[in-house]
Structure formats: C-alpha cells, structure tokens
C-alpha cells in the first residue's frame, strides 16, 4: 500500500494522536500498547501521542507521566480541572504539532488499527477521514436508540451536513486543524465544527467495540446537554419552530374565540370550565417551552460574551522539557518586579 509523500513538520512529526482521558487508569496500558505499535509501524519515530488528563480523580495522570518518562513520543497535558470531553480534546488539538492529526477515545472503543486505512484516504487527497459506526458493541439498546435519534434529528435541523453515526474518531490534515483551532466558540461540538470547515471529507466504516474497562462518562443528563449543545451550535431551527408553534397556538386560540363568541350569542355559555382550564394549561405550557428555547440560546450568548479561556493548562509533560505555563508566568512576573 502506498501512502504518498509523508508530510513532516520541522520537528520531524508526521502524526499527532490526541486523546482526552478522564478516569481511564484501567485502559491506559492496553491503549498505549496497541497505539504505540500501530504508530511505530505507520510512521516510526515520527509521531507524538498527546494524552490530555481532564481532571481525573484516579491514577490516570500518574500513568501518563510514567508513560512519558518511558517513551519520548508521549506528551502529557494536565488540565486544571475537569472541563469535559470536547474541551479536553480541544486542549490537545491546540498543543499537538504533527501534520496529520488522529483523534481517539481512551477506552479503545475506536480501534487504533484503523490508522493505515485513514492515512490511505489522506494520501488519496482527502483532508478528513472520519470513522462511521456500522455496529456498536456492548452498548445498551437505550444508548444505541438515543444516539440514532440524535444523529438523525441533528442532521435534519442543522444547516451544515453532519455525518450520521460519526463520533470524533478521525484523521485530519493540519490545514483543517488550523481552521478548527481558529474557531473560538465555547460550546464546542468538534465533529460538527470539522464538517462545517469543509474540504474533502470521507467516511471509513468500522465496528465500534465495547469499552475495554470502566463505565461511560456520558450518563443520560450529560448526553442531553451534549445534544442541546450540538443543536444550538449548528442550528437556529428551534427558534423558528418556537415562532411557528406560537403562530399555530394563536390560530387555535382565535378559532376557539370564534366558537366561544358564537356560543355566547346562542346563549350556551354556562358549561366549559374543563375546556377553559385545558386551554389555559396548554397555552401556559407552550409559552414556557418557547421561552425555554429562547433561554437556551440567550444563555449561550451570555457565556460566549464573557470570552473566558476554554480551559486552563496546569502542565505540559514531555521528556526533554517540562513546561508549566502558570509557573512560567509567575516566574516572569517575579523577574519583572525584581528588576
């Protein structure tokens, strides 16, 4: 198989693998075993593995630093607290330096062995090769069902076409990543943002394995939040739906009013408490729903206007250098004050 001419950075890095990790101590060893062997075969010595520790409360960070001590291709990034999957991923994407960027989950649900196939797609001229799940192993029927509804609704609502059954598992070129890093938004739905960027993108079908160890970090509540983030980031259709719903209710109310007026004129006005109460309840419910939709967008606008950094990095851990932006900053200030 030919992989075309390898793009290489000044540092000699062809490939960066970026992995957000939250309480993944039991997966770390197996993950690195499989990943290092895949990378060594594909691009020997010319890759880095960026492991972002998203405020784990277990031994994940210790394991990352130990792995980095043993293998100079492994870079650890420690966030100041748990920022969530998408922001942890964004931190790794900001730090990585390779020309091709491979995004992976830490739980081995996305097989690293798909790398050569995805690199082949890049060699054919694609800028993004994303993994599309044709089968999901070991997930509850509820997760599969809700995920399938989510991708279909999102596809209908969003203004850009976001591929179905596709997570963040993908390989992309540096020029796509540079565009992605230049997008400052706080509510990040990385797979949608990559679709929005465009260029030539293609799907690579795969079977999604069971988690190697541990439990999903996406319980129902987080999944709903993620879905609302995705829809509000990529669509204003719910706002339009809100006004359509308002219009529909007004029409119904108007018809009811006509009916009441006719009954009044005919002298049948005594009964009707039940219908009146239901109409009031219905109208109240619809109004709250519409206000809620407005609120979701307004809240996001408020958070975006604050322009806070997306995440704070505590430490970047590499074999040669151990950078600590916060400590470095304090050092610089101290120097300035002393001078």
Binding site for ligand UDP (CB under 6 A): 20-22, 24, 54, 82, 84-85, 88, 105-107, 109, 216-218
Indicate whether 109 belongs to the interface with Mg ion (CB under 5 A).
Answer: yes
Say how many residues touch Mg ion, by CB under 5 A: 3
Nearest distance in Å: CB 100, Mg ion? 23
Name the residue nearer to Mg ion (CB basis): 144 or 174.
Answer: 144
Nearest distance in Å: CB 151, Mg ion? 16
**Contacting residue, 99, 107, 127, 314, with Mg ion by CB under 5 A:** 107
Nearest distance in Å: CB 146, ligand UDP? 11
Nearest distance in Å: CB 167, ligand UDP? 7
Q: Which does 192 bind (CB under 5 to 8 A by kind): ligand UDP, Mg ion, none?
A: none
Name the residue nearer to ligand UDP (CB basis): 138 or 284.
Answer: 138
Sole window of 104-112, 135-143, 193-201, 309-317 interacting with Mg ion (rule: CB under 5 A): 104-112
For residues 11 and 62, the answer to whether their CB atoms sit within 8 Å is: no
C-alpha distances out from residue 1 to 6, 53, 117, 120, 121, Å:
13, 35, 10, 8, 12
Name the residue nearer to ligand UDP (CB basis): 107 or 127.
Answer: 107
Interacting residues with Mg ion between 226 and 255 (CB under 5 A): none
Nearest distance in Å: CB 30, ligand UDP? 13
Name the residue nearer to ligand UDP (CB basis): 174 or 217.
Answer: 217
Nearest distance in Å: CB 24, ligand UDP? 5
Which residues of this protein are in contact with Mg ion, per CB under 5 A? 105, 107, 109
């Amino acid at each position: 198989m030919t992989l075309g001419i390898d793009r290489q950075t000044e540092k000699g890095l062809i490939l960066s693998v970026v992995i957000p990790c939250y309480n993944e101590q039991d997966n770390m060893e197996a993950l690195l075993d499989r990943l290092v062997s895949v990378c060594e075969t594909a691009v020997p010595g010319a890759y880095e593995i960026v492991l972002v520790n998203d405020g784990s409360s277990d031994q994940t960070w210790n394991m990352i630093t130990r792995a980095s001590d043993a293998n100079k291709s492994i870079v650890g990034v420690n966030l100041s607290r748990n920022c969530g999957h998408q922001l942890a991923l964004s931190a790794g994407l900001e730090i990585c330096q390779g020309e091709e960027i491979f995004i992976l989950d830490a739980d081995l649900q996305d097989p690293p062995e798909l790398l050569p196939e995805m690199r082949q797609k890049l060699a054919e001229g694609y800028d993004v090769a994303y993994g599309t799940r044709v089968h999901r192993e070991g997930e509850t029927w509820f997760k599969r069902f809700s995920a399938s509804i989510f991708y279909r609704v999102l596809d209908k609502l969003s203004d850009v076409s976001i591929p179905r059954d596709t997570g963040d598992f993908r390989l992309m070129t540096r020029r796509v990543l540079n565009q992605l890093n230049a997008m400052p938004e706080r509510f990040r739905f990385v797979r949608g943002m990559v679709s929005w960027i465009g260029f030539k993108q293609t799907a690579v079908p795969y079977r999604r394995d069971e988690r190697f160890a541990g439990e999903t970090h996406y319980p129902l509540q987080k999944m709903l939040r993620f879905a609302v983030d995705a829809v509000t980031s990529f669509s204003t259709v719910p706002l339009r739906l809100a006004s359509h719903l308002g219009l529909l209710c007004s029409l119904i109310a108007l018809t009811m009013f006509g009916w009441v007026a006719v009954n009044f004129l005919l002298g049948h006005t005594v009964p009707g408490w039940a219908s009146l109460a239901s109409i009031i309840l219905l109208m109240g419910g619809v109004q709250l729903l519409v206000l809620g939709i407005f609120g979701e967008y307004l809240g996001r606008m408020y958070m975006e206007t604050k322009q806070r950094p997306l995440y704070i990095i505590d430490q970047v851990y590499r074999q040669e250098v151990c950078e600590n932006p916060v400590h470095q900053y304090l050092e610089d200030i101290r120097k300035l004050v002393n001078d």
